[in-house]
Amino acid sequence: MLGPRTLIVLAAGGSLALLLAAFGFQHLGGLAPCQMCLWQRWPHAAAVVFGVLALALGGNMWIWLGLLSALTTAGIGAYHTGVERDWWEGPSSCAGGAGGLGGTGADMLSLDVPALVVQCDAVVWSLMGLSMASWNMLAALTLAAFWVLALRKSA
């Protein structure tokens, strides 16, 4: 059986792998992220930090925070999936265009505005009918299970 330290490494390492994949899709694959895609990255980064702290300092608090991070990104991924599938409206910051940037028509002509604004309801990549947001949700739920197992083993 896997010990708590191994489970923490798997959970935090999984978040690190997902972050690296997201940056790879963006910088190597040329797939610009939408606002909600960016939101999903922050909890993964936090999970990596919490995993390092759990390994370095010990204590269940860091494992709990890692679990919370995994569940947070899974929740954002689930919400994002619903927006992509038109189950509900996304936030106005994900609408694309100048409205999504909080600006005016003049802002659209500014060189300070990104050339490509990806709308959150646009699926730019999918595998087996699931978008990156959906895959992130499933992966994050798997990582959450590793965090839960680490908590159970460390008790």
Running DSSP on this structure, what letter comes out for residue 92?
Answer: G
Burial class (CB in 10 A: 0-12, 13-18, 19+), 143: buried
Q: What value, to the nearest 5°, has the Cα angle with vertex 27 and ends 26 and 28?
A: 105
Report pLDDT digits (tens) over 19-33: 999 999 889 988 888
Q: How far apart are CA 25 and CA 1, in angstroms?
A: 34
Find out whether 77 and 120 touch, Cβ atoms under 8 Å.
no
The pTM score is 0.82
Helix, strand, coil share (%) of the chain residues, nearest 5: 70, 5, 30
Confidence class for position 43, pLDDT limits 50, 70, 90: very high
- Check residue 97 and give its pLDDT: 40
Where do the domains of the chain lie, and which CATH numbers do they carry?
A: 4-87+104-154 (1.20.1550.10)
Is 127 strand, coil or helix? strand
Structure tokens at 55: 């390994």
